[in-house]
Chain A
Amino acid sequence: MKQNPVLEVRNLSRTFAQGAVRAVDHIDLDVQPGEIISILGPSGCGKTTTMRIIAGLESPTSGEVRILGKDVAGKPPHKRNVGLVFQSLAIFPHMSVKQNVAFGLRMQGLDSKLIETKVAKALELVQLSPEKFAERRPSELSGGQLQRVALARTLVTEPALVLFDEPMAALDRRLRDYMAVELRAIQKQLGIAAVYVTHDQETASMMSDRVIIMSAGKILQAGTPEEIYEAPNSRFVSDFLGDTNTLRIARVLDQEDGTSLVQTDAGLAIRVANCSAIAEGAFVIFRPEQTVVHSADPGGAFEGKVVSSQFRSGLYRWQIVLPGGNTLIAQSTENRLASSAGDTAWVTIDSGKARIVSQ
């Protein structure tokens, strides 16, 4: 028997300012039991608005939200069984850590004995020792600890679906990565379904089973983190996930067995595997790590001049300007060019990895 998806969003839209702002524009998404999906997109693309509509804090202009198979239109937030961890955390300042975590249980009308044990368990789950932290005031906690309280407060009520609206945006990179791994472990351990909103693609990849890329209220692409990284369907998606080399295609020189030889408008010829129809004005895209640089002409490579080079976290990077004016970014784990700015270098592209996108 197939279980109902925990969340189904159908054709959901929300406009503001008499329709002038389309914050959410006809989006569809599903979350299966035990699954965590990330919504990834730049600031203002409608992530928070989507979360608020699902939680019932905002009403949609049109479209449908189903939770565990039931349409929740008109249902107030406190009856939806959807937890929301806010971008700002929204810890109650007039309550201790324990009172914050107990709040949802108290609203459910549980007896105080049971609340006590559940709160202690929840605090342990997020690695805040109850003896040390239960009686503390929110003003006596660090950012990371507040974050854990917010998690515990939502998880303890065992909602059918948990929404995370960038709760870690305020933390530094290392703590954020650490919390992301931990949150992922907790989510798997409890088997909860969750939606995680972020504009940080690394967090999204670490956290989620599937990623949804949003821009200007629309979903551009959905899939596993690997799928989207390897096969972005547009320049926007590719750029958003990491540095991308983009070259405009001027014409198709040759095409056979699914492999095309295209010429860019700067006059370069590039061979691209696995592509069939190529629309007018399409682009060829490839990532810095899908190139190889050479200090001597290996044959069949593009010749260019090194503009600059960097070394960062074990990776070498070069900006190389080609004769037509295009700049390519190349990357390698080894220092393949002992050259300085102004020297000539040659670049080859892994034709199996380069992709053609129409926009």
Chain B
Amino acid sequence: MSMPTATGRAGIEWLLVKGTTCLLLTLMLAPICMVLVISFTSGETLQFPPPALSLRWYQEVWAMLVGPDAGIGRLRESLLVSLEIAVLTSLVCVLAGVPASYALVRYRFAGKTLIEELIGLPVVFPAVVLGIALLVLVSVSGLDFGIFQIVVAHSIIGLPFLMRNCMAAMRGIDPMLEEAAMTLGASAPKVFREIVLPLASGGIASGAILVFILSFNEFTLSYFLYSVDVFPLSIWLFQQANTSFSPAVFAVSSLIVVVNVAAVLVVDTVIGSRGSAA
């Protein structure tokens, strides 16, 4: 960069780097920015750019959530069910994933490599296929699992994310700390509670938040498995977009973006503070 003879070349490199960055950022952020801008419109339609800015659609959404007519658009119901699904999914993933991660990190057993491959790979099976499979299973059983059919579906795709975070944290724990605890009189469950869990808590928490976002945003699986009683927010948005298409939909979308960003910030601070404390 500072080499005087290479200014021409450096100039081209600079242009390439800056250009690519701008292009990527635009591609990634432009649609979301557009949604954010439109959500502040004062008009009745999805004009871009908006004629003037106002908070009227947010007031509308607020009324749909807590106002006297809150039940009508079913927005509140959908939001609550999505939150409930996301919390339960995180819980299921933590309960199943933390012990499983520990087993994978500390012990050797048949099939271990296969499981590690599955967890390590980015989502290998298409969500559509998984959705169809689960739908078939549910209808063959003839039972109504209510909210749990979506929780199970989300847990299947969420578990690898939780376990990847959790295993990374557990790999960082010196096995001798656990052995020292044993020689000081701690049984295996106590070693797990007193040493492993606290030292892996950062990884577990960030994994759980990741799963929460994943579930909260998830559409494909939810689309196969929703019912009138369990109507997640992503499905609600899809339906609204197909029918009414009012700027209120964009206001809701903007709120979802805010929830996502907030969650990412929480993950960052959790990992950050753990990192410096250890």
- Select which of B177, B182, B185, B187 is within 8 A of A92 by beta carbon: B177
Asked if B174 lies at the interface with its beta carbon under 8 angstroms from chain A, I say yes
A-B contact pairs, 26 of them (CB 8 A): A55-B183, A56-B183, A57-B182, A57-B183, A78-B186, A78-B187, A82-B183, A83-B183, A84-B179, A86-B179, A86-B180, A88-B174, A90-B174, A92-B180, A92-B195, A93-B199, A93-B278, A94-B277, A103-B181, A103-B186, A107-B185, A107-B190, A108-B185, A153-B184, A154-B183, A154-B184
Chain B residues closer than 8 Å to A92, beta-carbon distance: 177, 180-181, 195
Asked if A76 lies at the interface with its beta carbon under 8 angstroms from chain B, I say yes
- Select which of B176, B179, B194, B198 is within 8 A of A103 by beta carbon: B194
Residue of A nearest to B176 (CB): A90
* Measured CA separation A88–B177 after assembly (Å): 10
Chain A residues closer than 8 Å to B188, beta-carbon distance: 76
B residues 187-215 in Cβ contact with A at 8 Å = 187-188, 190, 194-195, 198-199
Chain A residues closer than 8 Å to B174, beta-carbon distance: 88, 90
Q: Mark A127-171, 1 if CB is under 8 A from B, else 0.
A: 000000000000000000000000001100100000000000000
Given A90-B176, A90-B179, A93-B278, is A103 in contact with B184 using a C-beta cutoff of 8 Å?
yes
A residues 98-120 in Cβ contact with B at 8 Å = 103-104, 107-108
Given A92-B177, A94-B199, is A78 in contact with B278 using a C-beta cutoff of 8 Å?
no
Chain B residues closer than 8 Å to A82, beta-carbon distance: 183
Q: Is the CB of A77 within 8 A of B182?
A: yes
Chain A residues closer than 8 Å to B277, beta-carbon distance: 94
CB distance from A17 to the nearest CB of B (A): 15
Q: Is the CB of A78 within 8 A of B183?
A: yes
Q: Is the CB of A84 within 8 A of B180?
A: yes
Q: Mark B40-79, 1 if CB is under 8 A from A, else 0.
A: 0000000000000000000000000000000000000000
Please give the residue numbers on chain A whose beta carbons come within 8 Å of chain B beta carbons, in ascending order.
55-57, 76-78, 80, 82-84, 86, 88, 90, 92-94, 103-104, 107-108, 153-154, 157
Residue of B nearest to A83 (CB): B183
* Measured CA separation A356–B145 after assembly (Å): 86
- Select which of B177, B184, B190 is within 8 A of A157 by beta carbon: B184
Given A88-B174, A93-B278, A103-B194, is A78 in contact with B179 using a C-beta cutoff of 8 Å?
no
Q: Is the CB of A84 within 8 A of B183?
A: yes
Chain B residues closer than 8 Å to A90, beta-carbon distance: 174, 176-177, 179-180
Given A94-B198, A94-B199, A103-B194, is A88 in contact with B176 using a C-beta cutoff of 8 Å?
yes
Residue of B nearest to A159 (CB): B183
Residue of A nearest to B180 (CB): A90
Chain A residues closer than 8 Å to B180, beta-carbon distance: 84, 86, 90, 92
CB distance from A148 to the nearest CB of B (A): 15
* Measured CA separation A94–B190 after assembly (Å): 15
Chain A residues closer than 8 Å to B199, beta-carbon distance: 93-94
Q: Mark B155-195, 1 if CB is under 8 A from A, else 0.
A: 00000000000000000001011011111111110100011
CB distance from A211 to the nearest CB of B (A): 24
Chain B residues closer than 8 Å to A57, beta-carbon distance: 179, 182-183
* Measured CA separation A183–B223 after assembly (Å): 69
Chain B residues closer than 8 Å to A93, beta-carbon distance: 177, 199, 278
Instruction: From B181, B185, B186, B194, name the one whose CB has the most chain A CB atoms within 10 angstroms.
Output: B185
- Select which of B185, B195, B198 is within 8 A of A78 by beta carbon: B185
Chain A residues closer than 8 Å to B186, beta-carbon distance: 78, 103, 107
Chain B residues closer than 8 Å to A84, beta-carbon distance: 179-180, 183
Given contacts A86-B179, A93-B177, list 17 more A-B pairs with CB under 8 A.
A55-B183, A57-B179, A76-B188, A77-B179, A77-B182, A78-B182, A78-B185, A82-B183, A84-B179, A90-B177, A94-B278, A103-B184, A104-B184, A107-B185, A153-B184, A154-B184, A157-B184
* Measured CA separation A86–B179 after assembly (Å): 9
Q: Mark B228-264, 1 if CB is under 8 A from A, else 0.
A: 0000000000000000000000000000000000000
Chain B residues closer than 8 Å to A108, beta-carbon distance: 185
CB distance from B142 to the nearest CB of A (A): 48
CB distance from A237 to the nearest CB of B (A): 31
Instruction: From A82, A104, A154, name the one whose CB has the most chain B CB atoms within 10 angstroms.
Output: A104
* Measured CA separation A93–B198 after assembly (Å): 10
* Measured CA separation A242–B115 after assembly (Å): 54
CB distance from A118 to the nearest CB of B (A): 13
Chain A residues closer than 8 Å to B198, beta-carbon distance: 94
* Measured CA separation A82–B181 after assembly (Å): 12
CB distance from B43 to the nearest CB of A (A): 56
Q: Is the CB of B185 within 8 A of A104?
A: yes
CB distance from B169 to the nearest CB of A (A): 12
Chain B residues closer than 8 Å to A107, beta-carbon distance: 181, 184-186, 190
Residue of A nearest to B173 (CB): A93
Given A94-B198, A107-B190, is A76 in contact with B184 using a C-beta cutoff of 8 Å?
no
CB distance from B182 to the nearest CB of A (A): 4
CB distance from A161 to the nearest CB of B (A): 11
* Measured CA separation A24–B143 after assembly (Å): 61
Instruction: From B182, B194, B198, B278, name the one whose CB has the most chain A CB atoms within 10 angstroms.
Output: B182
* Measured CA separation A77–B183 after assembly (Å): 5
CB distance from A282 to the nearest CB of B (A): 44
* Measured CA separation A93–B181 after assembly (Å): 12
Q: Is the CB of B182 within 8 A of A86?
A: no
Q: Is the CB of B176 within 8 A of A157?
A: no
Q: Is the CB of A76 within 8 A of B187?
A: yes
Q: Is the CB of A157 within 8 A of B185?
A: yes
* Measured CA separation A83–B180 after assembly (Å): 9
